[in-house]
Structures are given as C-alpha cells and as structure tokens.
Chains A and B, each alone.
Chain A
Amino acid sequence: MSDKEKWESLIEKTLTKRPERKAEFINGSGITVKRLYDPEDTANIGYDENLSYPGMYPYTRGVQPTMYRGRLWTMRQYAGFATAEESNKRYKYLLNQGQTGLSVAFDLPTQIGYDSDHSLSEGEVGKVGVAIDSLKDMEILFDGIPLDKVSTSMTINSPASVLLAMYIAVAEKQGVTPDKLSGTIQNDILKEYIARGTYIFPTEESMRLITNIFEYCASNVPKWNTISISGYHIREAGSTAVQEVAFTLADGIAYVDAAIKAGLDIDEFAPRLSFFFNSHNDLLEEVAKFRAARKLWAKIMKERFGAKNPKSMMLRFHTQTGGSTLTAQQPDNNVVRVAVQTLAAVLGGTQSLHTNSRDEALALPSEDSVRIALRTQQIVAYESGVTETVDPLAGSYYVESLTTEIEKKAAEYIKKIDDLGGAAKAIERGFMQKEIQDSAYKYQKEIEKGERIVVGMNKFEIEESTPKGLLRVDPAVGEMQKQKLENLKAERDNKKVIDDLEALKKAASGDENLMPYIIEAVRSYATLGEICDVLRSVFGEYQQSVIL
C-alpha cells in the first residue's frame, strides 16, 4: 500500500468520525478546492515553460530577477479630496510618512470632463477626489513637490490626455522636461464602460485618444505608463478572480489591436502598458491570480502579437486592496483584512500598492486611518520576511495548480470574447456586464443565506455606536471652485483660449495626434470642461447599454 493509499484510508475513518465542515469547498471563482494537493497535481506543469525564473519569460515568478531584494514595491496611497490646496497638504503628509509615490484621486466632475460650475457638478465637487478645472488648480496641487523626483499615478480615464497635458505643463513651469517625468495615467476606457462609469466619448473616438497618447508618449514622455489596464473596478463590481484576469486581459488585447491598427509598432508602445488589479481575502487564490495573469499576458504578447521586446511581454501591475471587502460594521476589523490582502499582493509580485483604510465603507478615510493603512504595507515590507526571497510560494502544489487553473479558465473567457468580436463588441452586447452582475448577485445571496461568512456583518455581530472622526468635505468647496473659475476667466488671455480650442476642434475632426493641441490649450488655461466640450461637439457621447 502506497503512502497515499494509506492516507486515503485514514480519511475514510476520519470522515466517519468527523465529517468535514462542508460537503464541497468551492472558491469564489467556482473552482473546487481539493482536500489536499500533492506532487501528482503539479506533475504536468513543466518548470521551464510554465514558471521559469523571475525576470524571464513567461514571468510567472515575477518581472524582476531579484524582485523585492532589490527594491520594495512603490507604496502609493490613492488620495485627493476637496480643493487642490487641501490635497496638496495630504500629499506632503503622505510623503513625509514614507510614502514613495503619489496617486491622485479626482472628483467626479473632473473625471467626466465638467467644470465645477457645470449644473451636473452640483453636489459632487471635491467629494470623491480633488476638483481640477484648469492648469491653475494643477499648479497648486503639485506645489512644492518636485515632479522629477516623484512618480505620480493619476486615476483619470476619458479626459486622461487633458490631465496628462496639465501635468506636463506644470513640470515645464518647474523646469522639468517631459522625458524626466514618471508616472501613470489610468486611461482605460473599456473598463469604464464595463464597470466604473466615468465615460464621456464613444468607443472609437476614445480609442483614438488612447492611441494618440501611446504615440505621443513613446517619443516625448518615454518613462510614462500610458495606460493602466484595470481589473480593479471589474472586481469591485462583483466579478470573480478569474473574470478579473480574463476581462482585464481581453481589454488589454483590444488596446494593443487598436494601437497596431493606428500604425504603431508593438515593441514601441507595449513596454509602457501597465496593469491594475484588486487584492481580496482569499490569499492563495489571489497569489495564483497574479501569477496566472503575468503568465497569460506574456504568452498573449509573444504568441498572439509576435512581440519581440521582452519588456512588451512583462505584465507590471499596481494593486489596491479590495474596497468591497470592507465592512461598515466593526470597521477596525478592516485593518486585518487589508493586511491579508497586502500579503497576497506582495506574494503575488506587485510593483506598487495602495492599501485601503479601515473607514472606507463609511466615508473618505481620515488621516489616522490612512496612516495605519500605509503602516500595514511597511510592516509587511520590513517585518514579515516575505520580501527576502523571490516568489516564495512557487512550488506549492496548491498554488501552482490554482495558477494553472485560473490561467486556463481565463483563457476560455478570452476565447469567448474573441468569438464575440473582441472586448469592445462584447461590452456593447453587455457580455462582461452580465457575467459580473451574475457573480455579484450570487455573492450577495451566499452572504444572505449564511453560506459565506463576513465577520462582523453576518456573524459575530455586536451593538455599535456611531463611528467618530470621519472625514467630511466642506460643502463650500463647490463655491470656492466656482469663484476660482470666474477669476481665471477674467485673468487669462481669452482670445488665445478661443484660438487654441478652435485649433483643437479642427484637429479632432481630422486624424492628427491631438496631444500637442491639448497641451497648447492647457497652457493657455483653457479649462478641462472647455476642452472636453470641444471634443464632445466633434466626437459625440457614449450611450450606456443598461443591462439588468
């Protein structure tokens, strides 16, 4: 009798005495988790072709040869609220606390290309991020922050070209040339249509703006990550880990296709593509997810697109811990969730990380909560020991099996999306939206039936008092921004603004790269709303397909 057979007979006896907690153990992606994984599960996973070494194709074990032994990930807390002045203070605080990169949150009017004085902006100015109406606000936002020393990520999509133009213009004023700038714009419109909702223009015109940015940055802002292809919001909307990988990479394929169609060379723009994933509580599934995503993308770039430059094949990614996993009940428990999710991101080989604050199911995070979130990263970085060797979970029978399984299931989804005509077409038909909603509803049902436990929410509840010390945005911010806009329009050279906007309009009607025109308009203090209105007048607006 082999040892395995002996173990199996032991199991039989054990089960008669003590049945397992559940008849079946199924993870969030619908993958059945076995009682035990052993060498048989990984026997067919050839090391060289499936894992190889870190910094080597297919990058399953990481994109850098030495990973965190060389340099830790960038600790980058997403922040921004109220006015540029307030947010500038928060950035300086975070940099003083040991944060190593900036991440700008814009308010909804900014993200949707409306100035603060637009009727649709009422009640939203400065709420979920900082209000930026013109270069003036951007100058204040980065006042005293040397843009050649810090890398900045901006969560901006539809109007990404305008905010990037403003960043370039602020840098100019600091005496920093564009080639010295490093950072990221999210610039990922497809996931806005799928899950996040801050779209402006129709698909084709949005794809043009995106490829214009790829092209412009390849020759002018070479260190800039021109897109952050995001699974984060797809997951927040309720997708499983497998769907997160599949839909994100399907979007990635659509961007590469669009850029190639626009005549760009893959090995020129692809090295600047970056990704953004979520990190949830199922630690080992998340680790496997990150590894599977890296491997799958490398194969797609090499085999599907024929990329030659290794940098084109490397999936570099930012991670944010899962906002939707946080509970409003017993909010301090969220610190522990975030710690688990941080470990998952780090064991999965992330390049940068935002850790959520414990109070985010209640309001924007307070300064104390943000500090604890940052300290969580620092504790994992400096105390946990997981950074001392590269990809420490490699070789785990379970993690390797799960990595292979997630890769396989995500590839099946990508095939389905290909059959629908690619990501843009699939979105039009509501395919991804429907899949995500089904998962979200299933998850909610599981919680309500008690099949899934969320500590403090549907089990281990306590009576609680109203939480104190939440951050509130002063409602006067809207009025302050309006006043600033009025002053700006009185001070600037309005003739120049009109000329620049006219030139942009003409260019938008043709097929030139729009970046130089946008930069020129921004320099003249044309507002974000004015620039987006010009583009709206030429491009039209996206019509959401409502799927329920």
Chain B
Amino acid sequence: MSSKKIEELKKRRQIEIRKKKDQKTYALLVLALWMILLLTFIYTDYQYTSVWIIGLLIGITLQRTRFCFTAGFRDPVLVGSTSILKAIILGLIISTIGFAFIQYFAIGGKEIVIANVPGNIYPVGIHTAVGAVIFGIGMVIAGGCVSGTVMRIGEGFILQIVVMVGIIIGTILGASSFKFWDLNVIKDTKEIYLPSFVGLPLATILQIIALVGLYILADWYHKKNNIML
C-alpha cells in the first residue's frame, strides 16, 4: 500500500540519495573465506562440514526472512501480531516429524532408553521455567536471542556486538557454575519423554495435534487483535 503523498515523498528523497557503495567485493571475500574454512574442515575434521554448510543456510534464511524468535514471542503481547509465532509453530511441526523418524530408527523397536535417544532430552523442572523467564526478559531487552544477535551482527547492526559480549559472559558463567545447579536443583528432576509412556507413533501424533491447535489459536488471535497495548 502506498498513497500519492508517500510516492511524492519517495520521489523527492530518491533524487537526494547518493549512489550506494558496491558491496560485491566484500561478499566475494567473505564467501572465499567461507570456502577456505570448508576445505579445511573437509581435510581435518570431516563432521564439521555438514554443520558449517547448514549453519550458512540457516543464517541466510534467518536474514532474508527476518525470522526472529524474540519477535515471535514478543509481538503477540505487544502488537497482537502472531505471524512469526505461526512460523515458529510450523517449524516445530516439521521438526517433530523429522525427529520422529530419527528417533524411530535410533530406538529400532527396542525398549526406550532415554539416554540413547537422539535429540535434546533433558530433565524438566522448576529450573526450566525460571531459566526461560530470565532468558525471555533478557532477549526482549537485548532485541534478539542468540541466533538473531549473530545474524544482526552479520548484517552490520553494531549494537548487537554489546549483546554478544553479554551472551558470552553469561554462557561462561553458566557453564562454570553448572555443577552447583546440577547438584542442588537439577539432580532431583527427571526427564519426561512422552514416547516412553504412550509409544513413539502416538506421541508424535499427539504433539502434532497440539501444535496444530496452537497454530489455529495463534491465527485466531492475530485476526482478533488489532490494537496495541
């Protein structure tokens, strides 16, 4: 949508704008560096190559789509928009199906031993909720979660470098004091893995139904909410 007034303003501004610098050289340089590192990984540590390639593709996707986990959880509250939240839910549905296959082949019809199942299955308890709230407050203030911060540094938003320093400090503090939390809080909680109660196929179907339900709910919320706080 663009009205006559806006078109006029744009035209007036277009004349004043100086020619933009050509950034293709930088792009080629970075791409060359990426290729050199890729070759290094192929010859030294082969398992890093897939991570390196997938990482680049995810980075491009994040940047081009403006996919932002922070906005996904902030915008529904702030502006009543759930378009990014819906994208996150869609992503979860896809990864649920993908991981169902991965875990199905890993379990191989045997008794489920949680420690052997691929995927991040960790003990859940009050520490999960407390951590989520702290992280949530942090990411909204900082204007980005970890992937969003890295992506915005890449596109040149310098403010996020400060955030990155904070992330690194926080991660180091967390890693160095993990033993304390593990002994005092996490030790007493258990992993909850739905397939060990109802079996993998049913657990997958239940999870997809729950996610589709959330998607419909988010869609309804998006249409209903127009007004900001």
Do chains A and B stick together as partners? no
- List residues of chain B with CB under 8 Å of any chain A CB: none
Question: A-side interface residues toward B, CB under 8 Å?
Answer: none
